[in-house]
Structure 1
Amino acid sequence: MNLRRPLLLASNSPRRKELLASLGLTYKAMVKEVDEAFPAHLQRQQVAEYLASHKADAYIADLHDEVLITADTIVCLGDRVLNKPADHAEAKEMLLALSGTDHDVITGVCIASTERKTVFHDTTKVYFKQLSEAEIDYYISNYKPFDKAGAYGIQEWIGMIGIERIEGSYFNVVGLPVQKLYEKLVQLEILAVNAQL
């Protein structure tokens, strides 16, 4: 595959970095501290898109020929948006709420350059079994999911033992809807697919 312009990933997430690299794309990662507050009136998918777009705004002035990718993943239980837990107690409260029910994971993505900005999202429905308190405590103590929205990582132990099924993209839950991202990069003529593929 051939990138027509240099690619920047504005993320410190090792999972997003790994997923982008797994697409066969060469990129440079960079990180700035960006406020993740959002207007209270936004619908759920609008929150993810707003945050991804808001992150991109912090980098636009630094861009020259590069194309920037930003993303934000939120976990939604009904109308409640579950952010990153502050501590063990908050993580446990979130996982108890997710236990035995389904929730939506929405990742907003922004592809930005000096000329334009494209924003989209993907949604995956995740079904948790009824988790025991012992399982929840074990997971939090050993995996410390305080950097993860909804207090869990699907690729970790809790996902292996607790998630019964999903509807939609697995990679979206990990943190980047790579199939949709790939399609957008091709549509925007940022990425060309070589004939030998």
Structure 2
Amino acid sequence: MKIILASASPRRRELMKYITEDFEAVSMDCDETLPDGISPMAASEYLAVLKAKAAAEKYPDCTVIGCDTTVICEGEILGKPKDKTQCIADISKLSGRTHQVVTGCCIISGGKVNSFSEVTDVTFRQLTAGEIEAYADTDEPYDKAGGYGIQGKGSALISHIDGDFFNVVGLPVARLFNELKIQD
């Protein structure tokens, strides 16, 4: 069965190639407004299901995968920074702290829906104001949840992680591979 990755993320598309080269990536336009009262830890899985269901309607004879990644610091979701001021505020919030990166995934195949979340703890080292501003001056933060890329210049901000590195990039490769095997 053909696999559809419902994602516009270039990083997610690259990581999917570690699982299979035989997939098509499509961007799904969905209203990503979260329902009132949803917990930050549940948000990414909710959005992954939303994206997968939208793609499954368009590609009913395919295995569809929807994903969404959120960065959560002290109970607050940090989205993609809109500007340098927000980027500096978000990276300052992460400085010297451990936060969670949650990637929700949803696989829809043959009418069956399987959704799950993978959580990785990421700890930033204590950063100086100059380091934060220098990072915000790069083009890297602005298309990434939490405003940093662990696979790029943002790696210098991190002291350690506990969990799946690829989950922080945007796709829990090992878990998704195993879940797809179970679907077969």
Q: TM-score interval w.r.t. the shorter chain?
A: over 0.9
Aligned pair partner of 2:136 in 137, 140, 159: 140
Is 1:45 the counterpart of 2:41 in the alignment?
Answer: yes
CA contact (8 A) 1:63 1:114 kept: no
Partner residue, 1:194: none
Structure 2 CA distance for aligned equivalents of residues 109 and 182 of structure 1 = 11
Match of 1:106 among 96, 102, 107: 102
| CA shift for structure 1 position 88 | 0.7
Aligned to 1:175: 170
Cα RMSD, aligned residues only? 1.2
Aligned to 2:146: 150
| Runs of 4+ off more than 6 Å | none
Structure 2 Cα separation of the partners of residues 56 and 114 of structure 1: 13
- Name the structure 1 match of 2:124: 128
Partner residue in 2 for 1:79 = 75
Residue in structure 1 matching 2:52, options 38, 47, 56: 56
Which ranges of structure 2 fall in alignment gaps of 5 or more residues? Answer: none
- The aligned residue for residue 30 of structure 2 is 34
Gaps of 5+ in 1: 190-197
Moved more, 18-27 or 119-128: 18-27
SS of 2:141's partner is coil
1:68 deviates by: 0.7
**Can you list the C-alpha shifts for 1:60-79, whole angstroms capped at 9, x where unaligned?**
22123211111000000111
- Matched with 2:159 is 164
Q: Secondary structure at 1:171's aligned position in 2? A: helix
**Counterpart Cα distance in 2 of 1:45 and 1:11:** 20
1:59 to partner: Cα distance: 1.8
Q: In the alignment, is residue 188 of structure 1 matched against residue 183 of structure 2?
A: yes
Secondary structure in 1 matching 2:36: coil
Cα distance, 1:114 vs structure 2: 4.9
- The 2-side partners of 1:20 and 1:132 are apart by 35
SS in 2 for 1:58: helix
Change (3 A) 1:158 1:22: same
Distance 2:177 2:120 in 1: 17
Match of 1:193 in 2: none
> 8 Å contact 2:124–2:159 — kept in the other structure?
yes
Aligned length: 184
TM normalised by structure 1 equals 0.89
Query: For 1:64 and 1:24, how far apart are their aligned partners in 2?
Result: 20
> Conserved in 2, the CA contact under 8 Å of 1:45 and 1:108?
no
Conserved? CA contact 2:123–2:161, under 8 Å: yes
Asked whether the 8 Å contact 1:52–1:72 carries over to 2, the reply is yes
Q: TM-score, normalised by structure 2?
A: 0.95
State the alpha-carbon separation in 1 of the partners of residues 82 and 157 from structure 2. Answer: 22
